[in-house]
Amino acid sequence: MDSDHIIMKSLQNDRLLRALQRQAVDVTPIWIMRQAGRYLPEYREIRARVKDFLTLCQTPELACEVTLQPLRRFPLDAAILFSDILTIPDAMGLGLYFSEGEGPSFERPIRNASDIKHLGVPDPHETLRYVMDAVTLIRQELDGRVPLIGFAGSPWTLATYMVEGGTTKNFSLVKGLMFEQPVAMHTLLDKLTQAITAYLNAQIAAGVQVIMIFDTWGGILTTRDYLDFSLPYLQQIVTNLIREHEGQTIPVILFTKEGNEWLEALAGTGCDAVGLDWKLPIGIARKRIGHQVALQGNMDPCILQASPARIREEVATILASFGSGSGHVFNLGHGIHPQVNPEHVKVLVEAVHTLSPAYHVS
Ligand code: CP3
């Protein structure tokens, strides 16, 4: 506790924390969704050795090593815990596994009201202890260089994987359950909300300094269903998170992919920042909600496959669209693609750091 306090006080780069709270910064901070991952040869090397992705997440030394890999290459302004949103359903007993080239699957998906009734809420200090151990280790290794972001999936997004049993194209099973048995669906979302809140609070107690919630599949819902089955649960989590730790505010970022219609509602949850995909110019989002929250995003991930000159041009356009002042965290609009050349990531980070000071004259 005491040594943590010292680390916190001496955070060498606090641009991310400042921008999320819309306090003045010298440079726009940048981190990248999925910054640790398959586009890095050093990540692929570890994966070839460890084989099983879950083992990587469940071994704190390996999770720590992979978290730090992108920071050794690029002057990023944050680290993000290496883990996955599906660790919670796994801890609930669904049996998560990853098969080569197919993404995540569950051995025991949730298909009806009886399955939902029998689901327990996991104690994060027991079944998910490996995550907290990774957080402690990463904080030690970071030694106050940049803040550490912790995360979870939204209740709705976790429910889609749990009911479908894996990745899906049309969400027919989860939507079927929602339409036919809304009460059971709300029970599932309630249990997930409790599990996610306890899990994120345990991450904060272990040392994460920012929280991000990924609502990757909120955007497949009608407005009516989003406001019934996703947003209220995000709201409940925001309300029940520990927002102060080690004498510092813990900012919360909410990201509903393809959620541009609901930006005002997301900003109204009491979160500190809203993540944007690449569809809406960030300047328009700023006019709509930028007086309330910070904004994170919003470069199209495919731009990283274009030339360095085109990447710089896109960075300049996004920075100009946001305009002067704090409250912008540069990021992609979704995760980085595995085929990206790491040299292009270097170009991106440098472009943000060299072009953004013009927007932060004090
Ligand atoms: O951002 C980071 O660097 C931190 C680590 C992180 C991973 N997954 C590692 C991972 C984070 C924040 C996630 C979140 C996650 N996981 C989301 C929400 C964000 C988003 O992308 O919308 C979702 C929907 C998942 C579920 C998931 N995990 C899928 C669908 C897949 C397979 C598809 C894919 O990209 O491979 C995963 C596996 C996964 N999670 C990988 C990584 C690095 C690839 C695993 C591998 O090495 O093969």
This complex has an ipTM of: 0.93
| Given the residues 4, 84, 190, 225, the one annotated as active site | 84
pLDDT tier, 258 (very low <50, low <70, confident <90, very high otherwise)? very high
Mean pLDDT of the region 163-182: 96
Q: What is the pLDDT of residues 52-107, one digit of tens each?
A: 999 999 999 999 999 999 999 999 999 999 999 999 999 999 999 998 778 999 99
Q: Among 53, 73, 80, 84, which residue has the most ligand 1 atoms within 8 Å of its CB, making it the best to mutate?
A: 84
Known binding residues for substrate: 34-38, 84, 161, 216, 334
* DSSP H or E stretch at residue 154: none
Cα 212 to its chain centre, rounded Å, is 4
Query: Rounded to whole angstroms, what are the CA distances from 14 to 72, 77, 79?
Result: 18, 8, 12
Range of the domain at 264: 2-359
DSSP 249: E
Q: How far is the CA of 324 from the centre of ligand 1 (A)?
A: 33
- Rounded to two decimals, the pTM is 0.96
Number of domains in the chain: 1
- pLDDT exceeds 50 at position 188: yes
Would residue 277 be called left, alpha or beta, if left means φ above 0 and alpha means ψ between -120 and 50 degrees?
Answer: beta
Q: What is the pLDDT of residues 16-65, one digit of tens each?
A: 999 999 999 999 999 999 999 999 999 999 999 998 999 999 999 999 99
Atom of ligand 1 nearest to the CA of 338: 35
Q: Which residue has the tokens 């995003």?
A: 297
From first CA to last CA, the distance across the chain in angstroms is 35
Other C-beta atoms closer than 10 Å to the C-beta of 108 total 14
Atom of ligand 1 nearest to the CA of 47: 47
Q: How far is the CA of 34 from the centre of ligand 1 (A)?
A: 7
Rounded CA-CA distance 131/60 in Å is 7
Q: Is 224 among the catalytic positions?
A: no
Rounded CA-CA distance 146/14 in Å is 7
Q: Whose CA is nearest to atom 7 of ligand 1?
A: 84
- pLDDT exceeds 90 at position 361: no
Characterize the bridge pairing of strands 248-249 and 328-332. Answer: unpaired
State if residue 97 touches ligand 1 by the CB under 6 angstroms criterion: no
Rounded CA-CA distance 324/301 in Å is 24
pLDDT recorded at residue 362:
64
Burial 324-358 (b: 16+ CB within 10 A, else e): eebbbbbbbbbbbeeebebebbebbbbbbbebbee
Other C-beta atoms closer than 10 Å to the C-beta of 43 total 19
Domain containing residue 66: CATH number? 3.20.20.210
Q: How far is the CA of 189 from the centre of ligand 1 (A)?
A: 21
